Amino acid sequence: MALEVAAIPFTFVVHILGLVSIVLVLVWNLYFRGGLAWTSSNKSLIFNIHPVLMLIGLIVIGGEAIISYKALPLKKEIKKLIHLGLHAIALILGIIGIYAVFKFHNEARIVDLYSLHSWLGIGVIVLYGIQWIVGFVMFFYPGGTTTLRSISAPWHVLFGLFVYLLAVGTACLGFLEKLTFLEIFSRLPKYGPEALLVNFTAIVTILFAAFVVLSAISQPPQPQADDDYAPID
Amino acid sequence: MALEVAAIPFTFVVHILGLVSIVLVLVWNLYFRGGLAWTSSNKSLIFNIHPVLMLIGLIVIGGEAIISYKALPLKKEIKKLIHLGLHAIALILGIIGIYAVFKFHNEARIVDLYSLHSWLGIGVIVLYGIQWIVGFVMFFYPGGTTTLRSISAPWHVLFGLFVYLLAVGTACLGFLEKLTFLEIFSRLPKYGPEALLVNFTAIVTILFAAFVVLSAISQPPQPQADDDYAPID
């Protein structure tokens, strides 16, 4: 299902939508929700760290990590380091973001892990970690044999995109869950500016992910004749 | 990103998970939620038509429509008719399912179209309809030129899978939204059997969709030498 078109234009759209989604999630949490705090008597400020880090980390930096092979006209070894490094940053920010929501639940005496959002979120972070470790061992150090790499490369891409789309879906579940709580418990107007902002942030996130996938299945900026790991074919 | 493995084993998993998800959504709505009704003084019974028809129609029959090219060792023209027909059934059940929830909102005096679930749901049904009409005109009647078909085939597959995954994500948003309402307004236990059932139904739906995609990008059961429309390459 590789597309015979250049990836570069799609990657520009990814960068722009990624920036827009970061601005939107910051406007939501800093302007509408009162800001971020690691310790506070206003426990909501601890919660606010969660959507900000998950979106910037797992979704935007994770998406940029996926498309790094298609966005940059660099040597394969450099792109591999960028791919690994960005995914490591995404994973670490994701783990801190999940820790923040457990801290909030603990201090605000809210029960853990009952919603579909939380179940899938735990699944995503575990699968993301496994994918990173297997990718590191297979394609970086010590690295599998050439045959093993070429057999596992399409599965690496496919499983990576599956986990990524699951992360984006989980983010959308989180946007809906939080907004539903605000509408019910804080009487937030259903058609008010904050509700519209959150729904539009979710839609921008979905479009971002669509262009990440489009970039991933399109053609890289220059021939990679020396590749032992051609993720898309 | 085509996989060099046979699609048939994946299509068996699709059939089984599809049946399981239908059983789960029926147990939820018939046993736990009191059944279905088109007219009733208990307006919840009108709502219940919505998840049942969306899951059986758009998700399960829609998924079977997608994999019909990979699941059946039949001639291409027959498979095309099955593909078109199943998608038409999925679309019609989806439209009736959406009509049911508007009918419920209207009779229970609930406002429409404020949640991310509803926004994406409208988007999905419109895009699904457009995809069906464009597919009909391009690949069935009157049909584009051979060149036009071969250029548009990968985009038909890609856009179709995008709309389908959006439908599955929207279904998961619906499961979470309904369960959140039940937990808040009907004091449904957060770890009780119904909550677990709904979350597991969502997870089975996600796995179903994953195997639909796996089937779609794997190899069909027999060579299709006479194909002018090879959706996967």
pLDDT tens digits, one per residue of A185-203: 999 999 999 999 999 999 9
Number of Cβ pairs closer than 8 Å across A and B?
Answer: 95
DSSP string, chain B: ---SSBSHHHHHHHHHHHHHHHHHHHIIIIIIS----SS-SSTHHHHHHHHHHIIIIIIIIHHHHHHHHHH--S-HHHHHHHHHHHHHHHHHHHHHHHHHHHHHHHHTT---S-SHHHHHHHHHHHHHHHHHHHHHHHHTSS---HHHHHHHHHHHHHHHHHHHHHHHHHHHHHHHHHHHHHHHHS---TTSHHHHHHHHHHHHHHHHHHHHHHHHTSB-SS--TT-S-----
Give the pLDDT score at B166: 98
Of B120, B175, B190, the CB nearest to A114: B190
Chain A, window 55-114: residues with a beta carbon less than 8 angstroms from a chain B beta carbon: 111, 114
CB-facing half-sphere around the CA of B81: CA atoms within 13 A: 4
CB B21 within 8 A of CB B204: yes
Q: What does the pLDDT average to over A10-20? A: 98
CA distances from B138 to A43, B6, B82 (A): 56, 28, 16
**Which candidate in B3, B116, B183, B203 is best for mutational testing of the A interface (most A CBs within 10 A)?**
B116
Among B5, B70, B157, B176, the residue to mutate for chain A (most A Cβ within 10 A): B176
Contacts of A110 (CB under 8 A, 6+ apart): A104
pLDDT range class, residue B225, cuts 50, 70, 90: low
pLDDT at res. B113: 97
**Closest among B79, B47, B8, B13 to B211, alpha carbons compared:** B13
Task: Give me B135's structure tokens.
Answer: 């597919």
Q: Is the model's pLDDT at B85 over the cut of 80?
A: yes
Per residue in B40-62, pLDDT (tens digit) is 999 999 999 999 999 999 999 99
CB interface of A with B, residues 169-208, below 8 Å:
169, 172-173, 175-177, 179-181, 184, 190-191, 195, 198-199, 202-203, 206
Interchain proximity A180–B177, CB inside 8 Å: yes
Residue identified by tokens 């939204």 is B177
**Does the beta carbon of B163 lie under 8 angstroms from any beta carbon of chain A?**
no
Cα A228 to Cα A43, A149, A224, A225: the distances in Å are: 50, 8, 9, 9
Give A125-144 pLDDT, tens digit per residue. Answer: 999 999 999 999 999 999 99
The ipTM estimated for the assembled molecules is 0.95
Confidence of residue A2 (pLDDT cuts 50, 70, 90): confident
Burial of A57 (0-12, 13-18, 19+ CB in 10 A): buried
pLDDT digits (tens, 9 = 90+) for B167-202: 999 999 999 999 999 999 999 999 999 999 999 999
What predicted TM-score, i.e. pTM, was given to this entire model? Answer: 0.95
Q: Which of B116, B180, B232 sits opposite A1 (nearest CB)?
A: B232
Stronger pLDDT, A232 or A181, i.e. the higher one: A181
Of A48-52, A70-74, A159-163, A207-211, the poorest mean pLDDT is in: A70-74
- Selected residue of A114, A208, A232 to mutate for chain B interface (largest B Cβ count, 10 A): A114
**CA separation for the pair A59, B138 (Å, rounded):** 35
Burial (CB < 10 A; 0-12, 13-18, 19+), residue A142, is exposed
CB spacing of A116 vs B179 below 8 angstroms: yes
User: Which of B212, B208, B211, B203 has the alpha carbon at shortest distance from B157?
Assistant: B212
pLDDT at position A223: 52
Structure confidence at residue A99 (pLDDT): 98
Nearest neighbour of A1 by CB, restricted to B120, B158, B206: B158
* Residue range A200-231, pLDDT digits in tens: 999 999 999 999 999 999 999 875 555 545 45
Region B114-126: what's the mean pLDDT?
A: 98
Of B1, B180, B233, the CB nearest to A232: B1
- Rg of chain A's alpha carbons, rounded to an integer? 19
| pLDDT tens-digit readout, A42-56 | 999 999 999 999 999
Eight-class DSSP state of B152? H
Distance (Å, rounded) from C-alpha B145 to C-alpha B138?
Answer: 8
Q: Is A25 on the interface with B (CB under 8 A)?
A: no
Mind telling me how many Å the CA of B169 is from chain A's nearest CA?
Answer: 6
Question: Looking at CA atoms only, how far is residue A173 from chain B in angstroms?
Answer: 6
Judge whether B122 is closer than 8 Å to chain A, CB to CB. no
**Distance between CA A39 and CA A107 in Å, rounded?**
10
